[in-house]
Structure 1
Amino acid sequence: MDVQADAWRAREAKAGRVYDCANRSVAGFPFRLEVRCADPSVALFSQAAGTPLMNAKLDEILVVAQVWDPKRVIAEFKGPAVIADGRGPASFNVNWRVGEASVRGLPGPPQRADLVFEQPTIDRIEGGAAVPAARADHAELHGRLAEGTPSDHPVLETALQIASGSIQGSHPLLAEPFNTDIQARVTGLRDFRPKPWPERFREIQAAGGHVEIVESRIQQGELLAIASGTLTLTANGGIDGEVQMTVAGIEKVIPALGLDKMLENGVPQGTLDRVAPGVKSQDVNNLLGALDRAIPGLGKVVKQNANVGVALGINALGKETTLEGRKARTFPLRFADGVVVLGPFKVARVPPLF
């Protein structure tokens, strides 16, 4: 068994994935095989430059294979895990209550892989202190090889599920707990060898690859949304494409998007340039002044109810429909070289991916 394990580690090392184990034991015969590894570490190396991309150290890994299902391997992880970029100091501390994985297709090329974590937490390490980065009650990621092989232009089908997840230090919308279920298909990959993300994104762009969001559902409080569409990458590394969305309760997120600021105490041109390119600040302010002159106080009412006004504007963009028994609107969310556009509103900009 040790000989087979060492041979597998050697094959993985050639692909840029180096596994080490401070103390390894084998048990479970005759009906199953258990390999327990204490103080394991995983290092990913770039094939092009031979430089380390990531190092991770865990407390323990238990790998189990049943004799009646030898092509399926199950692993249990014991945290915490300390993750570092390359040879640098620790960047993240990851922990969980239960962590499991399974891989099907071994000893040949893996055909499917699954990861499941209960109560995962991710903290950034800043100045020696842990800063909360992400939390969830439950998270699972599934991947299936739909076409090709891991070493030759694989096409990947994935499914991600998160329950009560939140991401700190990013957009305010992501800091509040949400549930999501996303199914996607990724094309344009050259292989699964470890490499820097910018390099992988360049490969996808050069190959004309894309991410197809086959189906997705997100719920956060009163907000409920489903979406599908296709996203590509431009030569500049910006995200391009369109996602068709159906949303119920969008007025609940207007403040987080910043659209309500358009009607507060006049509208600076910079704000309009960000959220509604082409609209002139003076035109909007003149309209509010005219409302006040026609019916004293009306302009103030419009300002105070900015969320409702902007929500009505967004509702007018799409078509009325229902979503899980609730009134909803369906409309496109467009990406133009990294700029995220909701109707006439420019709501965000995604930095270039390479």
Structure 2
Amino acid sequence: MDQAAPTASVRRSRFWLYTPFVLLLLIAVAWSIAWFVIRNRTAEALDGWIAAEARNGRQWTCGDRSIAGYPFRIEIICESLDLKRGSVSASFGRTEAVAQIYQPRRVIVEVAGPLRVTDGTVTVDGSWSLLQASINASQTGLQRLSLAADSPKVSVTGLGNGEIAGSGRHLELHLRPNPSRRAELAGDVAASVTEARIPILDALVGGAEPTNLNADLTVTQADGFKGGTIVEELELWRNAGGKLDILMLSATKGARQIETKGELRLDEQHRPAGQLTVSAAGLDGLLGNLTGGRVGGNLLGMLLGQGPRSPQGQPNAKPQLASLPPLRLEKGFLSMGPFVIPNLRLQPLY
């Protein structure tokens, strides 16, 4: 009788000693079951989304699909990813999308190249060393898409004017629906490219220095991809009254610099039309090249190059920009103030 109480006390103390480990094991088992349930529901939701996209004419193919990420993430991996709608098709390399269990509407995507988009006439090929994107969504749809790529390269063929190619050190792109212009189906675009090399720009402006580009734009009637050819998509956009609001577009190429704001659209002949305000420095030879050395073009070219040069001994100093007369694109002509730029006609884009 004298030893019964100590034995009971020892048993109680051992029970509380092991209880945390037992609870931890039960939680791990429950979490594992929950993760596999979420995994199965993700697979079902993905199959349902692909089926819904197919009903809307967009056919997605995820090659060798797998779902992983235990214990706290859901990772969907496609060894290849293809999209087809109408005559337009796109293909990507290995694509991996990752979302945290506790934040399912924020998805991080990593895509391997190469990229090819074609409508049977125009073909876009792209490659990169690293491409990552983040997608933020809500119950009402996409809130923001951000993309970053290292060492991007792109080429466009089939436009009728030869190949257009370019490359850069780093690319960033941000897209979002414009919350204050929903009636116009407007979308905001912010993009930047560092150390871009664009041969067609080198030939036009002169110099082989890399170019830094920055753009802040709003596109109206940006209501999505309808599945036609690139020409058909542009024509639908034009007929809907779509326009491009340029909040800021800047390019720096060595000592040459230009900043532009304004509005562009496509006219009935599919030519660029609109009005731009321009500030520039160091582009004195540009219009001379465009106009074949005519006097009017050289005078306007001098105007483009006005403003003090970088101080001697400071080749990297930022040049001072000079404001230019408004630049108008109308009926295939390009005018600066009251002057029509000679020997220069705007060609239809398609």
TM-score normalised to structure 1 length: 0.71
Residue 337 in structure 1 maps to residue 331 in structure 2: yes
In the alignment, the residues of structure 1 paired with residue 77 and residue 287 of structure 2 have an alpha-carbon distance, to the nearest angstrom, of 51
Counterpart residue number, 2:7:
none
Residue aligning to 1:352 = 348
Gaps of 5+ in 2: 1-41, 309-316
- State how 1:1-354 maps to structure 2 within 5 Å: 1-43=42-84, 45=85, 51-53=86-88, 55-86=89-120, 91-105=123-137, 108-123=140-155, 133-147=165-179, 154-168=185-199, 172-173=203-204, 176=208, 177-254=210-287, 257-259=289-291, 261-262=293-294, 311-312=301-302, 326=320, 328-343=322-337, 344=339, 345-346=341-342, 348-354=344-350
2:59 is matched by which residue type in structure 1? V
Q: 3-state SS of the aligned residue for 1:227?
A: strand
Q: What is the letter of the counterpart of residue 141 of structure 1?
A: L
CA distance in structure 2 between the partners assigned to 1:241 and 1:349 by the alignment = 14
CA distance 1:238–1:327, shift in 2 (3 Å): closer
Unaligned runs of 5+ in 1: 46-50, 264-271, 276-306
Deviation at 1:219, TM superposition (A): 0.5
Number of residue pairs matched? 294
Cα offsets for 1:311-341 (capped at 9, x unmatched)? 435579xx99xx9662523322221134333
Higher strand proportion (structure 1 or 2): 1
CA contact (8 A) 2:205 2:285 kept: no
- Find the structure with the greater CA-based Rg: 2
Q: State the secondary structure of the residue aligned to 1:143.
A: strand
Q: CA deviation at 1:252?
A: 5.0
Per-residue deviation, 1:174: 7.0
SS at match of 1:326: coil
Give the counterpart letter for 1:61 in structure 2: T
Contact 1:260 1:310 in 2 (8 A): no
> Could you give the per-residue CA deviations for residues 42-81 of structure 1, whole angstroms, max 9, x where no partner exists?
22x2xxxxx321x233320000111232211111011223
Q: Distance in 1 between matches of 2:55 and 2:202?
A: 39
The root-mean-square deviation of aligned C-alpha atoms, in Å, is 3.4
Report the Cα distance in structure 2 between the residues aligned to 1:148 and 1:8, rounded to whole angstroms.
29
Quick one: distance in 2 between partners of 1:220 and 1:147?
Answer: 34
SS in 2 for 1:331: coil
Matching residue's letter, 1:195:
G
Under a length normalisation based on structure 2, what TM-score does the superposition of the two structures give? Answer: 0.72
Q: Which has the higher contact order (CA 8 A, sep 6+)?
A: 1
Distance 2:80 2:102 in 1: 29
